[in-house]
Amino acid sequence: MLLQTKRLIIEHFKESDISDWAKIESDANVRRFVDGKALSFDEARKYVEMNIRQYQKIGYGRYAVRLKEKAKLIGMCGFLKENYGIDFGYRYSKISWGKGFGFEAAKVVLNYGLSELGLEKVVGLTAEENSGSIRILEKLGFKLQEKFLFNNTKAFKYQYTKGL
């Protein structure tokens, strides 16, 4: 799988990404709206390896997002099978915030999921405070389904249904 935009390359994670992913995930600010806890190198390694297994097992996962110019890993975007449905998620290094990379990657990845993977419905969860994530989901056409508490944080559940 290889997707490209004007500025980005989006592809499967590789084991060679572990070190760079660990650097991104070691920043508690990057994980502020996930759980606020920096990941250890081992936890980041397990995350990358889990996604590699998911590509083989179910055909999708979270994907590495790289700057086209330098092939530098700046984050991830993709799908994860959860008990509440197929989760659409993304997370980026702090240096890439505010540059439009999140929406740019999300748009092409969502289209890939709907057209190539045959996904009919995906869910996006976000903290109520995460205005950047809310903007991306709403701009993509996700609709607010409910408000709830997630890890003691006020959160929103959005859903995108193909054809609606």
Q: What is the CATH number of the domain that holds 95?
A: 3.40.630.30
Whole-number average pLDDT of the chain:
94
Q: Quote the pLDDT of residue 75.
A: 97
The count of structural domains within the chain is 1
| pLDDT at position 26 over 90 | yes
| Interior angle at CA 92, CA 157 and CA 45, nearest 5 | 100
What's the chain's Rg over C-alpha atoms?
A: 15
Task: Quote the Cα angle for 106-33-48, to 5°.
Answer: 60
- Digit-coded pLDDT (tens) for 136-147: 999 999 999 999
The whole domain housing 40 covers 2-161
Average the pLDDT over 1-22 and give the result.
97
Q: Judge whether residue 47 has pLDDT over 90.
A: yes
Residue 130 exposure: Cα atoms within 13 Å on the Cβ side: 27
What does the pLDDT average to over 105-115?
A: 97
pLDDT band at 38 (very low <50, low <70, confident <90, very high): confident
Is residue 103 within 8 Å of 92, Cβ to Cβ? no
Sign (positive or negative) of CA dihedral 56, 60, 62, 65: positive
Of 142 and 29, which is predicted with more confidence? 142
Q: Confidence band (pLDDT; 50, 70, 90) for 27?
A: confident
Share of the chain above pLDDT 70, in %: 99
125 contacts 147 by C-beta, under 8 angstroms? no
Question: Which range has the worst mean pLDDT, 58-62, 67-71, 108-112?
Answer: 67-71
Query: Six-digit token pair at 44?
Result: 């980041």
Helix (H) or strand (E) holding 124: strand 121-127
pLDDT digits (tens, 9 = 90+) for 150-162: 777 899 999 999 9
Is the overall model pTM greater than 0.75, yes or no? Answer: yes
Locus of tokens 């991830």: 76
Report how far residue 146's alpha carbon sits from residue 55's, in angstroms, rounded to the nearest whole number: 30
